[in-house]
Structure 1
Amino acid sequence: MARIISVISGKGGVGKTTTVSNLGAALVNRGKDVIVIDGNVTTPNLSLHLGIPFYPITLHDVLKRRTPIEAAIYDHPTGMKVVPASLSAEAVKDTKIEKLQGALLNLLGRADVIIVDSAAGLGKEALTAMRLADEILIVTNPDLPSVTDALKTIKLAEEGGAKVLGVVVNRVKGKKHEMPLSEIKSMLGVPVLTLVPEDSSVPKSIKRKKPVVHYKPKSRASRAFRKLAAKLLGEPFVEKRKKKMGWFEKLTFWLR
């Protein structure tokens, strides 16, 4: 039966959708059948990241009970399967996100992992994503507002009985103004699963409409997402190390 993982952030712009697309692709590269679902029905972006923004049937049709969710599944060149949301403003009307939990029951035998890209914040869409998931993955940035919002998200998830797998700290620059990793760990009280560095390959990959793990598989960001996939599967992540480690490699060495 599939694991359902909801990827959630307390605020927008931290890299949640980027994490979903790259985690999904990295899990496929490890031999898993993966379905990614754009659970952000008001401001969806997943299909834009994956390069196929217009679909005849979307999650909105499923939530309006016009079609079964199986009809909204599309194959992606990365090997993932995608359930997109409509980009149309009109489609948002009369969409009931709470119907998603029932729809997912029909997918449990169709994949090893189902990843839900939740809406940012702590509104109805995000709370629904928390309730329907077996496990929660939090994405944040290394600044106090983002980490504070992540803490609120973790507390809500735990109060609802969800299992919080841990945190992805995204867009790490190694600057003095950033929160130290030790403070982030202490404040959140859950594992930091990976640090994703600020990497110019990521916006370039989004422009090319490809996950960075495919666009630049040897980039530092790609390595971080592949490491995340290995950790979630409980598998070793082994790569040849460079003779000399840079600042980011030194920063993340203890996370191995």
Structure 2
Amino acid sequence: MAKSNKMWTVLVAVDPDANTSLLQWVQEEGRDFVTEVLEAAHASQIPNVLTLRADQPIALWLSTVCPQLPEWAQVITTLVQHRTAPTRIVLLAEGTPDGVAGDLGSLAATPLVAMATIFRPTQQTGTNELVYNYAAIGEALWSAQAPVVTASGPAGTGAQTLRVLPAQSPTESSEWHEPATPDGASGTAPASQSRWFRKKAKTPKSASSPPRGNEVLSSPVVMRTVLPPSRLIVVVGGKGGVGKTTVVASLIRQAARRYGSAMGIDFDYLKPNLALHFWPIDARMPNIDELFDSIDIARGAAGDAGIDEETERRMVAEWIGQLRPPDPGILVVPGPTRRLRVTLPPERAPGYVLDWALAQNDPVIVVDTDPALDEAAETALNRAGQDGVIVLVTTPEYDALAEADRVRQQMVQGLGIPDERIVLLLNYRGSPHAAVPVKEILTTHLPGLELVGTLPWVPKAANAALMHQREIPWPRRVHWDRVLTTLTGRQPDTRAQKRARKRA
């Protein structure tokens, strides 16, 4: 085997029963060519790896029976075409679970097939085993001559081509004839180099509807290139009651745990509920009305001359500087105290608050906003549109999705925010049985948005958290590390908890 000049990350997505032996084989045989071996039991995990490792050579070893691979084939193809590092795709043709005829099943009509080196197995007579040639698969994964997929297709072609390696059967002779090698040549190799992989053939499952409710996409899915590292996360929602503020509070707590500290800002001045997640409801919470009133009084006293901007910025800094962290490593700038009347901030005041926050050292700043996209919301969204990420929160019901689309269009068409700065988070805060399927959401209701994660149905958890100011007990399948890494471009700090305790 010609030595590759690159070290590859190999992602194995064949089937859960075989993955253990396959991972071990890649580690042993590819030790001179492979830096890391990963596994994926579901196609939704593949885009995450491609995005977070956009600058690393990746070899995908996939089976057509990988759950929901046909549904995610287009997403995977798009990500591969936009990666800066080379990609290789090896595909085991075993049919797809949706019942489409042929060994490639419904994948046959997707561009993913055109990018892949395809292996067709031999099924042993009288047994239920599929036989593959290990050595040929290894050549396709890490050999220097194997084809590489680039933005313009396989290396040197400028277009996508189909490569098929015909089935071969084991031979008892001292030599074996290798199938067409990935570079188009053929040859022989000693029997000691011939490794054959046997696996039980799986009967394709009948077609099933897309998963619903808290079963859907337990790990986040990435559908675009990760943005440059950013500290600013702005959370928006279209319809009331989708759990926007609950998401903000969870992101603040999770970021503080993983990065050492985090700051939250409540810019939802119509329904300022963020403080309720951190202070007892009967406690005397900080009241930003005091700051707004002092700015209004100062402006009124100055008359037509007005007060200078630096003075107003200093007033903002002094008021926020007096806030006490409600939890270790967490600082929350609350909204107004709930009154009979709505308190609106003085002009430019939200910008001063945000500027102060960005001037601090907290690694993550999470901003809650009003769905009406008022001045405070626009201030945060415009800043995130330049250097940050916007999380659009919705529940998977038709009316909530319609409102989410309205807010998205306002941001893109009204504020000129790039669509790639907006990501989607689904919150199954109610019973999941009436939910719109995720595939329909991503293709019809909110097409083109990246789904960074889903929050499962946790009955009464949000209300209990509000009543007792405690963190919502999200189940383990909510992978906050991946969500925050996708949003910020930063890996969690393993020493963050220790620093948080010292800060406390």
Shorter-normalised TM-score: what interval?
0.7 to 0.9
What amino acid sits opposite 1:229 in the alignment?
L
* Counterpart residue number, 1:178: 435
5+ unaligned residues in a row in structure 2: which ranges? 1-228, 296-314, 493-504
Cα pair 1:194 1:228 within 8 Å, conserved: yes
- Mapping 1:12-91, distance limit 5 Å: 12-52=240-280, 57-64=286-293, 66=295, 67-72=315-320, 73-89=323-339
User: 1:84-105, CA deviations, whole angstroms, 9 ceiling, x for partnerless residues?
Assistant: 1222427744633642013321
User: 1:145-199, CA deviations, whole angstroms, 9 ceiling, x for partnerless residues?
Assistant: 1111111111222232335341110026441x31100111112120111111110
SS, match of residue 407 in structure 2? helix
5+ unaligned residues in a row in structure 1: which ranges? 238-256
What amino acid sits opposite 1:131 in the alignment?
N
SS, match of residue 223 in structure 1? coil
Match of 2:390 among 127, 130, 136: 136
SS, match of residue 5 in structure 1? strand
* Counterpart residue number, 1:119: 370
SS, match of residue 13 in structure 1? coil
Of residues 127-136 and 42-51 in structure 1, the stretch that sits farther from structure 2 once superposed is 127-136
SS, match of residue 75 in structure 1? coil
RMSD of the TM alignment (CA)? 2.9
Match of 1:209 among 445, 463, 469: 469
* Structure with more of its chain in helix, by fraction: 1
Cα pair 1:2 1:109 within 8 Å, conserved: no
Cα pair 1:41 1:60 within 8 Å, conserved: no
Q: Is the alpha carbon distance of 1:121 and 1:227 closer, same or farther for their aligned partners in structure 2, counting shifts above 3 Å?
A: farther
Cα pair 1:22 1:211 within 8 Å, conserved: yes
User: 1:59-101, CA deviations, whole angstroms, 9 ceiling, x for partnerless residues?
Assistant: 3344445431452243121521110122242774463364201
Q: Distance in 1 between matches of 2:346 and 2:477?
A: 35
Cα pair 1:167 1:192 within 8 Å, conserved: yes
Cα pair 2:269 2:344 within 8 Å, conserved: no
Q: Distance in 1 between matches of 2:478 and 2:318?
A: 32
Q: Is the alpha carbon distance of 1:98 and 1:7 closer, same or farther for their aligned partners in structure 2, counting shifts above 3 Å?
A: farther
**TM-score between the two structures when normalised by the length of structure 2:** 0.41
Match of 1:155 among 406, 409, 416: 409
Q: Distance in 1 between matches of 2:289 and 2:452?
A: 32
Residues paired across the two proteins, number:
231
Q: Is the alpha carbon distance of 1:116 and 1:207 closer, same or farther for their aligned partners in structure 2, counting shifts above 3 Å?
A: same
Of residues 16-25 and 121-130 in structure 1, the stretch that sits farther from structure 2 once superposed is 121-130
**TM-score between the two structures when normalised by the length of structure 1:** 0.77
Q: Is the alpha carbon distance of 1:223 and 1:131 closer, same or farther for their aligned partners in structure 2, counting shifts above 3 Å?
A: same
Match of 1:103 among 350, 353, 369: 353
Identity of matched residues, %: 23
Q: Distance in 1 between matches of 2:317 and 2:476?
A: 32
Q: Is the alpha carbon distance of 1:203 and 1:221 closer, same or farther for their aligned partners in structure 2, counting shifts above 3 Å?
A: farther
Q: Distance in 1 between matches of 2:284 and 2:424?
A: 32
Cα pair 2:454 2:478 within 8 Å, conserved: no
1:197 aligns with 2:456: yes
Cα pair 2:230 2:489 within 8 Å, conserved: no
SS, match of residue 42 in structure 1? coil
What amino acid sits opposite 2:289 in the alignment?
H
Instruction: Report the structure number with the largest CA radius of gyration.
Output: 2
Cα pair 1:24 1:115 within 8 Å, conserved: yes
What amino acid sits opposite 2:242 in the alignment?
V
Cα pair 1:195 1:224 within 8 Å, conserved: no
Q: Distance in 1 between matches of 2:274 and 2:440?
A: 31
What amino acid sits opposite 2:412 in the alignment?
E
Q: Distance in 1 between matches of 2:230 and 2:485?
A: 17
What amino acid sits opposite 2:469 in the alignment?
K
